[in-house]
Amino acid sequence: MFSRAFRVRSNTAIKGSDRRKLRTDVAAAFPNLSAEQLTEFIPNKEELNVIKIHCHKGEAVTVYMNNRNPILFEIEKALYPTVYTLWVYPDLLPAFSTWPPVLQKLAGGADLMLPGVVVPSSGFPQVEQGTLCAVTLLGNRAPVAVALATMSTAEMLAAGMKGKGFAVLHTYMDHLWEYGDKSYPPTLAPLVTDSAEKESAEDEEEMEGKEPVISFSTDPLQHVDVGDLSLKEQDSCAGLMGREELHENRAAETAEDANTEVQQEAEDSRTPQEQMDALFNQCFFHALKCKVKKSDLPLLTSTFLRSHMFSCCPAGQQLDIKKSSYKKFSKFLQCMQHQKILQVKELNKGVESIVEVDWKHPDVKAFAVPEGFSSAAAAQDSKSEDREQVYHAPEIIPLYGVSTKMIPLFQESGHRKGSILSSSEVRNIIINYVKTNELVDETNKNFVKVNAILCDCLLDKSEQDEISHLKWDDLLSRCLERLQPLHQVTFFGQEPIVRKGNIEPIDITVAQRSSNKKVTIIKNLELYGLDPQCVANILQQKVQASATITPVPGTKDRVQVQIQGNQIHHLAKMLLEEYQLPRKYIQGLEKAPKLGRKK
């Protein structure tokens, strides 16, 4: 439900009477909470807020906030806890475990299928269809998802652990989690209540090798077809060890021989998606170890992918995020951030940058550069990177959001406030509306009759008594003007990003400094996937003039390129011809110096 961004409609504080009512509703929804826990959960004095949001499919959801974290969300008068709440009260709901790689799927909007559920030797908790449940990861009792059971426990077992088991409502790493402080799940040891589990755990500790302790019962129900799982590569998420146990029975061989055999089998049996995950991991660590330096930070994530990771890709292979299990490069980086390898921040609206890298992280230190990539070649690539990198101009598409005033005109076509449409979709909706309501003027088909809805939506108050007909072009242009402007940006190899408003152009200005010297200033390069430091280096080489990166006055974490002299001619050639950016997205080219004639 929260796998995509939502829109906040209102944010108000919860007062005394409403707070008491909420506490009563929580007590009824979660009877396991003691009176002390209930008072702690819904405190008397701490600030509580209620937020009304609309999800991407139009669902109206109420979210309750405490200490800037969402603690509850309400859908159709039913209350559900968030992961922040379940980390404080981990036993609030009956819990089912899954393997760590499945979390990325759940955060992306997938439901939990029964082949992905781990069957404990002590058995499942007894639930009925529609019971609210928590989903945990194997080895950690801290819930990472909230879901509704689609069948009872007995039906799950009778179905042979096949089919959809849980409809997922909310997960760690989704947009509702991002609305809070983005803290990580705590590490909570599983409750080992069954004697068989304790003995199994003790036996595991005595085994040779370095496999993690994962208990497997001899119960036949445990032999689930793991091939049904779409799991990521073992190193694509933190702690994803134990992949060998999913592909090979525990052999009565030495630990070293078993590990070698299972690893070879895993290599041979990987799906194309798992192979792409492994390739992304390889190129990621290779780029961090050989390409990126501390002085490069902050580094645009798009530049890191295009200029650093692509150059680390082995010959004959190509990185394609859409063929991986992540689907979005931001999700891949989020997983690496979860492992505390790096830190990503949105320094510019809608533009993420890598701001910190832990080069001492064990995974980075342990990575070995693949054969065929020498350190000397890597260093040479790094030096010539600015000159040789291939820049792909982003695809920019104007979009339109349905505003409050325009709802009556679009609701017949099934759209509501906030619906995002392209210009062609808007045009088709208007044409269908006019034809369905028989508003085409019979005497002159170039005109459309203005009915009450068109009058309210498209005409100003001063025009409503004067205009009874509109030309088609005027009708469509008025409609587009009254919709909320948006734009979609698609960078090479990445998923599209939708931002509010019209995209800001690359702004080029010429300023005068002391001693009548001029400098050229370039802003907003990041919005188009251009690394300001990279552009400064290239310009400095082209014009043989000093180029620096300086903060944009009046903003936080935004930078601009400043180069000596009026260099707009060189900039125009680079942006228009080399980078193939459309002229309409560049502002200030007219300020280029006029070339005088030689006498």
| 233 pLDDT more than 60 | no
Q: How far is Cα 240 from Cα 232, in angstroms, rounded to an integer?
A: 9
Name residues whose C-beta falls within 8 Å of residue 19's C-beta, 6 or more positions apart in sequence.
Answer: 42, 44, 48
Q: What is the DSSP letter of 176?
A: H
Q: Name the band, by pLDDT with cuts 50, 70 and 90, for residue 597.
A: low
For position 70, what pLDDT does the model report?
Answer: 94
Give the model confidence (pLDDT) of 123-155 as tens digits.
Answer: 899 999 999 999 999 889 999 999 999 999 999
For position 183, what pLDDT does the model report?
Answer: 87
Distance of CA 157 to the CA centre of its chain: 35
Q: Check: pTM over 0.75? Answer yes or no.
A: no
Question: What are the φ and ψ backbone dihedral angles of 275, each rounded to 5 degrees?
Answer: -65, -40
Q: Under a CB-based contact definition with an 8 Å cutoff, are residues 381 and 372 in contact?
A: no
Nearest Cα to 309, choosing from 373, 352, 365, 362?
373
Residue with tokens 């010959």: 315
Question: What are the φ and ψ backbone dihedral angles of 342, each rounded to 5 degrees?
Answer: -145, 175
| 190 pLDDT more than 80 | no
For position 196, what pLDDT does the model report?
Answer: 42
Name residues whose C-beta falls within 8 Å of residue 124's C-beta, 6 or more positions apart in sequence.
Answer: 96, 153, 156, 157
Residue with tokens 């982003």: 394
DSSP string, 458-490: H--TTTTTT--EEEHHHHHHHHHHHSEEEEEEE
For position 547, what pLDDT does the model report?
Answer: 87
Q: Residue 446 burial by CB count (10 A; 0-12/13-18/19+): exposed, middle or buried?
A: exposed
For position 221, what pLDDT does the model report?
Answer: 35
Give the model confidence (pLDDT) of 360-400 as tens digits.
Answer: 888 888 888 887 664 434 444 444 444 445 778 888 999 99
Q: Name the band, by pLDDT with cuts 50, 70 and 90, for residue 596.
A: low
Give the model confidence (pLDDT) of 26-85 as tens digits.
Answer: 999 999 898 889 988 998 888 889 999 888 777 889 999 987 899 999 998 899 999 999
List the structure tokens of 443. 């005497």
| 252 pLDDT more than 60 | no
Mean pLDDT along residues 83-88: 94
- Relative to beta strand 518-523, strand 547-551 is unpaired
Nearest Cα to 365, choosing from 281, 288, 279?
288
Mean pLDDT along residues 278-284: 91
Q: Name the band, by pLDDT with cuts 50, 70 and 90, for residue 244.
A: very low
Q: How far is Cα 504 from Cα 292, in angstroms, rounded to an integer?
A: 29
Q: Under a CB-based contact definition with an 8 Å cutoff, are residues 520 and 510 in contact?
A: yes
Strand positions, DSSP E, 363-512:
395-401, 420-422, 447-449, 469-471, 484-490, 497-500, 506-512
| Single-letter residue type at 467 | I
Give the model confidence (pLDDT) of 496-554 as tens digits.
Answer: 888 899 999 999 999 988 777 889 999 999 889 888 888 888 888 888 888 888 888 88
Ranked by mean pLDDT, which of 203-207, 226-230, 576-580 comes out on top?
Answer: 576-580
Name residues whose C-beta falls within 8 Å of residue 12's C-beta, 6 or more positions apart in sequence.
Answer: 49, 50
